[in-house]
Amino acid sequence: MTRLFLFIFIICSSLSIAAQHSIVFELDDVGDQDVIIAHYFGDKQPVIDTVKAKGGAFMIEGEDNLDPGLYLAVFPPKNNFIQFVVSKEDQEFFIKTSLNDPVSNPEIRASKENSIFFDYINFLGGQSKKAQGINAKMQADSSNTKQYEEQLLAIDKAVQKKQKSIIKKYPKSFTSMLILSERGTEIPEGLDQQARYDFYRSHYWDFVDFNQPMAINSPVFKPKLDYYFEKVVPQQPDSIIVAVDQFLNQAKNDESTLRYCLAHLLNTYSRSKIVGMDAVYVHLVDTYYAIGMAPWVKEESLAKIKRDAGLLRPILIGKTAPNVEMQTPEGKKIKLHDVDAEFTVFYIWDPECGHCKKSSPKMKAFYEEYKSKGVTIFSICGRTYEKGEECWKFVEEYDMGSYMNVWDPYFKSKYKKLYNVRSTPVIFLLDKNKTIISKRIGADQLGDIIDYHIDKKNK
């Protein structure tokens, strides 16, 4: 042990009574330089500190415990890095290694987690090199393909054996969590398709300890989270709402995990392009944010979140469309709910909107095909009284006169606020009772949706 490191290590030991985390590194191929300390968080790696390395030795310390997870020591300017694990138990430890090859022969003290992790990563690296060599030989020598495939299979079996050994010996370790997240849920044989799905879904999160934030501070959690809600859970709002509540009921055991998952799900469903998923956003706001389960959100941000949900709530699929009173070009007043039709297309457009110019011819073609099936169009020009003539020129130019064209020249109905209109065109599809059955769709989608509802009604 060098005098420099001995000096640092003595200081570290003397401070360990006061400091809640104290991690010492000694690297034999690093001199004096800054070291950036970061950790995985979802798909990001936020920086938490910058320390000075002197003669390759540096120390990470602080009065608070570090959140469990996977950390990085990054070395500018090339940004080479070493990954290391912090757990609830391992907050004070020592690692001696090299930056060029950190995992092949490290000296690790007082951290079982890092001993397991470094050993596993080193093993995977060795097996990967073997596999690369065999693949190169197989490409050059196709006559012995079967032999090389058997060698690759042997490597795969060796990896699986190593993984099972780690899981058995250290089931609660960070490395086991990484392995289990990669391997996925092992489904028992003999189950039918539905039973296989039910087992897979009910055991999907078995690899996560929801009592601590170790999972969210790793590179594996966010991809698993996105896949679960995009591929595993049926893509209907009601199904996702149930799954969200079940999932967050587990995540609430740890505040950091709940905070990450709640924010991620809210952002996901605020941006979703899938029809009807705004219902999930509203549910998250009403069930969690509005009742104080996200105390970390600033008052101003919380007010905006609640306001956005308030705008969406009245126009969710399944709700009765807000009634608005418009007028025809001749000045005759007409209310949306007075329109008698099996299906009403509520269509908001603007004469200067480029997308409206593309949508309106499709709307015309759709109407000509479906008017015999009880479809009418309640077509609203978004202009005020000063530019009303532009509305009717547009109607004439795009041959929209065969269906109902109206406007609200003084915005008395506040329809843009009621229907949360931020851009045009906007299309809502309503049934006979003016219940919203679809929305935010394209004119070219209307026919398929109406056919679906007609078939459903006739069954």
pTM for this model (two decimals):
0.89
Partnered with residue 75 across adjacent β-strands are 80
Contact 102, 56 (CB under 8 A): no
As a CATH number, domain 3-110 is 2.60.40.1120
DSSP secondary structure string, 442-456?
A: -GGGHHHHHHHHHHH
H helix and E strand count, the chain: 14, 15
- Grade residue 19 by pLDDT with cuts at 50, 70 and 90: low
pLDDT at 271: 94
pLDDT digits (tens, 9 = 90+) for 199-237: 999 999 999 999 999 999 999 999 999 999 999 999 999
Return the percentage of the chain with pLDDT > 90, whole number: 92
Distances (CA, A) of 63 to 17, 20, 51, 144, 214: 10, 5, 16, 60, 20
Q: Which tokens hold the place of 184?
A: 């996925």
Query: Is it the case that residue 238 has pLDDT exceeding 60?
Result: yes
Superfamily of chain region 325-458: Glutaredoxin (3.40.30.10)
Dist CA 150 CA 122 (whole Å) = 23
Give the chain's mean pLDDT. Answer: 94
Residue with tokens 């001749």: 330
Nearest one of 262, 312, 316 to 291, comparing CA atoms: 262
Residue extents of the structural domains in the chain: 3-110, 111-183, 215-315, 325-458
pLDDT digits (tens, 9 = 90+) for 101-146: 999 999 999 999 999 999 999 999 999 999 999 999 999 998 889 9
In the chain, helix, strand, coil percent, each to 5? 45, 20, 35
| Burial of residue 21 (number of CB atoms within 10 Å: 0-12, 13-18, 19+) | middle
Dist CA 433 CA 426 (whole Å) = 20
Query: Is it the case that residue 255 has pLDDT exceeding 60?
Result: yes
Q: Quick one: three-class SS letters along 102-135?
A: CCCCCEEECCHHHHHHHHHHHHHHHHHHHHHHHH
Q: Average pLDDT, stretch 426-442?
A: 96
Dist CA 65 CA 219 (whole Å) = 21
- Grade residue 40 by pLDDT with cuts at 50, 70 and 90: very high
Residue 108 φ then ψ, to 5°: -125, 130
Dist CA 124 CA 130 (whole Å) = 10
pLDDT at 9: 42
Contact 346, 321 (CB under 8 A): yes
pLDDT digits (tens, 9 = 90+) for 402-427: 999 999 999 999 999 999 999 999 99
Strand 375-381 and strand 404-407: pairing?
parallel
SS3 for 4? helix
